[in-house]
Amino acid sequence: MAFVGLAITFLGFLVSLGSLGISNSNTVRGVIVLVGIVVSLVGIMGVLNQAYMKNAIWKK
């Protein structure tokens, strides 16, 4: 799951980068970039960190 989290985090960056080629409207670009940021945050906090928490030291 940790690698899935990393992949999602990086995917968020690619979504944001893609906004440059998808539209010339700064509003549309801004919305897409925000979506990319949210995807990356989900990857870090929702997937990657959760994967490491499963084996957290206090649970041993």
At residue 41, what is the residue type? L
Distance CA 47, CA 3 (A): 9
Show the site string, 24-43: x = touches another protein by CB under 8 A, - = not.
x-xx-xx--xx-xx-xxx--
**Which of 4, 47, 48, 54 forms a contact with another protein (CB under 8 A)?**
48
Distance CA 13, CA 4 (A): 15
Residues in touch with another protein (CB under 8 A): 6, 9-14, 16-17, 19-21, 24, 26-27, 29-30, 33-34, 36-37, 39-41, 44-45, 48-49, 52-53, 56-59
